[in-house]
Amino acid sequence: MKLNRHVQVFIWSITLIGLAAPAVGETNTRDQLAKGEILVTSKKRKEFPRPGVKAVGVVKASMERIWPLIDQCGKYTTTMQRVLKSTELSRKDNIVICEITVDLPFPLDDITAKTRAVHTVKPGKMYKREWKLLTGDYEYNEGSWTLVPFGNSMEETLVVYETQVEPTTMIPNSIRNLAQKKTIPSLFEHLRDQVK
C-alpha cells in the first residue's frame, strides 16, 4: 500500500519524536507541538553514564530556511546561544570539522570542543547534522539536529535536538537542571526568532 506523502511525513515525525512526551499519546503530542510547546526530556543510553537530553519543537519556517543556521558552524556565535567562538576548520563532501567554545556560567571556565559532523541533506524530506567529539574539554560530546516537515505545509518544520555531553569540568547538578529546563527551550526560541 502506497501512503500519501503527508501521511509518510507525519509517521516519520512521530518516529523522531519517540519518547519526547511519554505520558501522552501521539495525538496529544502533536497538538502540544502545534501549539508551540518545546518538549524536553532526559534520554538514557547504555553507553553513557548520565542521561542525555532530547528536545522537540516546531519552527514556523521551511527546513531550507532553518538549515543554514545549523549547517554553518562558523557562524554559531550569532546563530546559537552561549557560543563565544566558533570556527569551521574544514568541510569535505558532507564531513564538517568545527571548533566551538561555549560560555559557562561564572565561576566555571569556558569549554572548547573540536567535533566531526556528518551532514545529511535530503531536500524536501530531511536535513540532519550528527557530531562527535574529536578533542576538547569533554569526556564525550555528541548529538544531532534533525529537521523534517511538520504537518501539511512545507513552511513548518519539526526540529529534533539530541545531545549527550560530559565536560571534564565538574558541573553542579543545579546548572545541569537549569540547562535542561531553560537553556534548551531558549535555544529553540532563538532559532524561531532568526527565521521570522
> Going from the N-terminus, what domains does the chain have, and what CATH number goes with each?
5-21+29-194 (3.30.530.20)
Q: Among 35, 33, 77, 34, which residue's Cα sits nearest to residue 56?
A: 33
- Identify the pLDDT of residue 17: 36
Average pLDDT, the chain: 84
Query: HSE of 173 in the Cβ direction (CA atoms, 13 Å)?
Result: 2
Residue 73, pLDDT > 90, answer yes
Contact 54, 160 (CB under 8 A): yes
Give me the mean pLDDT over the 88-98 stretch.
Answer: 98
pLDDT digit string, tens, across residues 37-61:
999 988 788 888 788 889 999 999 9
Q: Are 86 and 115 in contact (CB under 8 A)?
A: no
What size, in residues, is the chain?
196
Q: What is the 3-state secondary structure (H, E, C) of 49-117?
A: CCCEEEEEEEECCCHHHHHHHHHCHHHHHHHCCCEEEEEEEEEECCEEEEEEEECCCCCCCCEEEEEEE
Q: Give me the percent of the chain exceeding a pLDDT of 70.
A: 81
Place of cell 513548518: 156
Contact (Cβ atoms closer than 8 angstroms) between residue 17 and residue 37:
no
Estimate the share of the chain in helix, then strand, then coil, as percent rounded to the nearest 5: 30, 40, 30
Render pLDDT for 158-194 as a digit per residue (tens, 0 to 9).
999 999 998 988 777 666 666 666 788 899 999 999 9
How far is the CA of 174 from the CAs of 45, 131, 182, in angstroms?
A: 22, 26, 12
Q: Are 99 and 111 in contact (CB under 8 A)?
A: no
**Single pTM value for the model:** 0.83
